[in-house]
Amino acid sequence: MTIESTLPVRATLRQQVLVLYLSDSALDSYVVGWSQYDGTGRTSPTTGDGDEPP
């Protein structure tokens, strides 16, 4: 006798998040800084390792 699961398989989703720091609260203002988080685990950046925006 075999028992087959009827429960759906849940995929694990991960996100890459880009946070922009603006010069003021207006959404069309200049970007003065940024940070990036990679929840996928594909990269392992260090703090301040780039001068160019992502």
CB 23 within 8 A of CB 32: yes
Into how many domains does the chain fold?
1
Q: How far apart are CA 10 and CA 52, in angstroms?
A: 37
What pLDDT is stored for residue 54 in this prediction? 57
What pLDDT is stored for residue 32 in this prediction? 92
What pLDDT is stored for residue 4 in this prediction? 66
33 within some domain: yes
What pLDDT is stored for residue 16 in this prediction? 84
* Domain residue limits at 31: 15-41
20 within some domain: yes
46 within some domain: no
> What are the tens digits of pLDDT across the range 5-54?
676 767 777 888 889 999 999 999 999 988 888 887 776 666 666 667 65
10 within some domain: no
What pLDDT is stored for residue 21 in this prediction? 92
6 within some domain: no
37 within some domain: yes
What pLDDT is stored for residue 53 in this prediction? 62
3 within some domain: no
